[in-house]
Structure 1
Amino acid sequence: MIGVVGEALIDLKAAEGDPRRPVAHPGGSPMNTAVTLGRLGAKTAFFGRLSTDAFGRLLREHLRGAGVDLRWAVEAAEPTSLALVSVDSGGAASYTFHLHGTADWQWSPAELPDAPGLDAVHAGSLALALDPGGPVVADWLARLSETTTISLDPNVRAELLGDRDAYRLAVERWLSFSAIVKVSDEDLAWIWPGADLARLARDWIAQGRRLVVVTRGGDGSLVHCGGREFAVPAHPTALVDTVGAGDSFSGALLDRLDRLGRLDPEGLARLGPDEARSAVEFASKVAAVTCSRPGADPPWRSEVA
């Protein structure tokens, strides 16, 4: 089983043709990744704090509809987090968040199981970055990393992160226990302004990361694995918007590695460049389908088989 830990929130987006009427869509980077995995047929569990309010029930229904296991999801008394989504004429999405006192950030150590018996856990985004729960999740992942593959996507939301230097230190800690790193060039440019992105990826591989993928939107991805560096082009698509594209990329990447027998720690240690290329090509295809329709709506396996 593949675990995903993090936030599940509601994206509020103006209805098509009527900006006065917002429409609620399930969202949140980790939840989108879990839904992608579930729709692709991977055995997936979501570790999230889901409110008991109406939006929280909508999120549970959305996850269950994709076949995601919610045995470890917490029933939280706090309200659901909200994000207001704006999409520009080029399809790029921006977000305004309403997070004060909401469910996703209140993790306590007792809410995370000591030994869930997973092959891999994917993490990142805001639930790993924001207090008070972020350090609790990070400590849990560090312990799990001794027997479980940890996959990281920082998914930077700069307006919520405060001091850049403090956040950079947190990312460096997360990298120390992560075996797979998927990160966008935009995220890297904010965390390490002016840095050579290829050099960063090479350093991470030298320090023990098994697979590093730097996504560059329409310019494709740069992949570092098994002593090789290579580019994988973006899959062509008719762009509607980019909401959830990076999250579906992460889910599809893990799904393909799992089907190749290269996701658990023992299998990942044997991952070769050709297999890594295959996984990134599949992830690019899944992300392209997500970009071709509005909102975070990743494809089912039958749509990309």
Structure 2
Amino acid sequence: MIVVVGEALIDLIGSAPADAGAPRSGRGAAPPDPVYRAVCGGAPANTAVALARLGVPAALLGRIGADTFGQRLRAHLERNGVRPELLVAAAEPTTLAIATLDDAGRARYDFRVDGTADWQWTPAELPDPLPEGTAALHVGSLAMAVPPGARVLEEWLHRVRAHSAATVSYDPNVRPALAGEPAEAVARVERQLALADIVKASDEDIDHLYPGRDPLDAARDWLARGPALVVVTRGAAGAFALAGPGEPLHAPFVPVDTADTVGAGDAFAAGLLDALGTLGALADRAALRRLCAAPDPANRLGPVLAHAQAVAALSCTRPGADPPYRDELPAGAGAAERAASA
């Protein structure tokens, strides 16, 4: 089982109404307001759903409000096969993320987070030790950034890592509106990634943290801080992985008819963990490090990246965070399974 830690919130996704381009009459006439639709989201929740749809046992360790939106989130998670035993019933209201899409389907976010459920963690709400059968933890995103719960989660991660062989995956998923002061955000991310075996980030995350810095240079620095594997997604430029001092392994962009990119990075993270699990590289972090330290890991990690790219690409063809089921993946996306038997 993979335990995903973090927020489950409601995305209010805005797009221009169908008549936005129609001519307006009258003095001072304004274009119509965007039309917003409410969908279940939150990067960790999206990743848990994507894992479950791929057939990977997954549980979300998250705080779910008792309001109408919270009830909808709980139903969404259970309907998609996410195991519910680690969900914490919270008295606080559900967090809202307001996403406005540009012409390319990329989302710009604003948030309503004050006093909401996702950030109010207490030590008593966190399992210690991890549930039996936990192969990996996937952490990061806003839950590891927004106080007061971020510090509680980070301290908990220190404890469980010291007593568990489960692999730790980290996705900083930086949101500038909530990241805090730049220097503080950099210090936090660098401190947290040092607790991880796998780091998955986007080039946008890196640019928010280190404006103008080459993503490969930043990834090399991150790898030197302790992780065994650093993977960076770059949109239309594909993705690359670093597993040692050698050259990065590149995976090309998968061209699709894009509806939007909401949840694409979360789907990629799920595909990455799914493929690594198929290779037996999650339940024991030493196995991951052996894989990454191999003289030529490309034969194994190449199919892993290709699988993650395929999962993310198919997610982009549908509006909102709507990751694919395993049987929806195109022929050839099972390359990780073939690598496992090599």
- TM bucket (normalised to shorter chain) is over 0.9
Cα deviation for residue 68 of structure 1 reads 0.8
Secondary structure of the structure 2 residue equivalent to 1:145: helix
Cα deviation for residue 196 of structure 1 reads 3.3
Report the Cα distance in structure 2 between the residues aligned to 1:185 and 1:123, rounded to whole angstroms. 19
Report the Cα distance in structure 1 between the residues aligned to 2:263 and 2:153, rounded to whole angstroms. 22
Query: TM-score of the superposition, structure 1-length normalised?
Result: 0.95
Cα deviation for residue 5 of structure 1 reads 0.4
Secondary structure of the structure 2 residue equivalent to 1:91: coil
Cα deviation for residue 222 of structure 1 reads 1.4
State the match for 2:160 in structure 1.
144
The answer to whether the 8 Å contact 1:7/1:126 transfers is: yes
Report the Cα distance in structure 2 between the residues aligned to 1:144 and 1:276, rounded to whole angstroms. 27
State the match for 1:51 in structure 2.
65
Whether 1:267 aligns to 2:287 is yes
Whether 1:190 aligns to 2:214 is no
Q: Report how many residues are paired.
A: 305
Query: TM-score of the superposition, structure 2-length normalised?
Result: 0.85
Match of 1:161 among 165, 179, 202: 179
Provide the alpha-carbon RMSD of the alignment: 1.6
Moved more, 30-39 or 141-150: 141-150
Report the Cα distance in structure 2 between the residues aligned to 1:127 and 1:177, rounded to whole angstroms. 15
Report the Cα distance in structure 2 between the residues aligned to 1:193 and 1:23, rounded to whole angstroms. 33
Cα deviation for residue 145 of structure 1 reads 2.2
Greater Rg by CA: 2
Whether 1:232 aligns to 2:251 is yes
Cα deviation for residue 21 of structure 1 reads 5.3
Secondary structure of the structure 1 residue equivalent to 2:177: helix
Cα deviation for residue 304 of structure 1 reads 0.8
Q: Counterparts of 1:23-38 in structure 2 under 5 Å?
A: 23-38=37-52
Moved more, 77-86 or 137-146: 137-146
Report the Cα distance in structure 2 between the residues aligned to 1:237 and 1:208, rounded to whole angstroms. 35
Moved more, 184-193 or 44-53: 184-193
Moved more, 240-249 or 9-18: 9-18
Q: Structure 2 counterpart of 1:111, which letter? A: E
Cα deviation for residue 202 of structure 1 reads 2.1
State the match for 1:39 in structure 2.
53
Distance 1:224 1:20, change over 3 A: closer
Q: Deviations over 1:58-82 (max 9, x none)?
A: 1111111121111111000000011
The answer to whether the 8 Å contact 2:260/2:316 transfers is: yes
Report the Cα distance in structure 2 between the residues aligned to 1:161 and 1:205, rounded to whole angstroms. 22
Q: Deviations over 1:198-248 (max 9, x none)?
A: 222223333331111111001101111144422110112111110000011
Q: Counterparts of 1:1-305 in structure 2 under 5 Å?
A: 1-14=1-14, 17=18, 22-116=36-130, 117=132, 118-146=134-162, 147=164, 148-228=166-246, 229-264=248-283, 265-271=285-291, 272-304=297-329
Q: Deviations over 1:119-161 (max 9, x none)?
A: 1111111110010000111111122223221111111110112
Q: Which runs of 5+ in 2 are unaligned?
A: 20-32, 292-296, 331-342
Report the Cα distance in structure 2 between the residues aligned to 1:267 and 1:204, rounded to whole angstroms. 20
The answer to whether the 8 Å contact 1:106/1:132 transfers is: yes
Q: Which runs of 5+ in 1 are unaligned?
A: none
Secondary structure of the structure 2 residue equivalent to 1:208: coil
The answer to whether the 8 Å contact 1:45/1:69 transfers is: yes
Report the Cα distance in structure 1 between the residues aligned to 2:175 and 2:13, rounded to whole angstroms. 18
Distance 1:145 1:49, change over 3 A: same
Cα deviation for residue 162 of structure 1 reads 2.0
Cα deviation for residue 89 of structure 1 reads 1.2
Secondary structure of the structure 1 residue equivalent to 2:290: coil
Cα deviation for residue 52 of structure 1 reads 1.0
Q: Percent identity?
A: 48
Report the Cα distance in structure 1 between the residues aligned to 2:267 and 2:211, rounded to whole angstroms. 26
Report the Cα distance in structure 2 between the residues aligned to 1:20 and 1:159, rounded to whole angstroms. 21
- Stretches of 4+ moved more than 3 A in 1? 14-22
Moved more, 93-102 or 39-48: 93-102
The answer to whether the 8 Å contact 2:60/2:87 transfers is: yes
Query: Which of the pair is proportionally richer in strand?
Result: 1
Secondary structure of the structure 2 residue equivalent to 1:55: helix
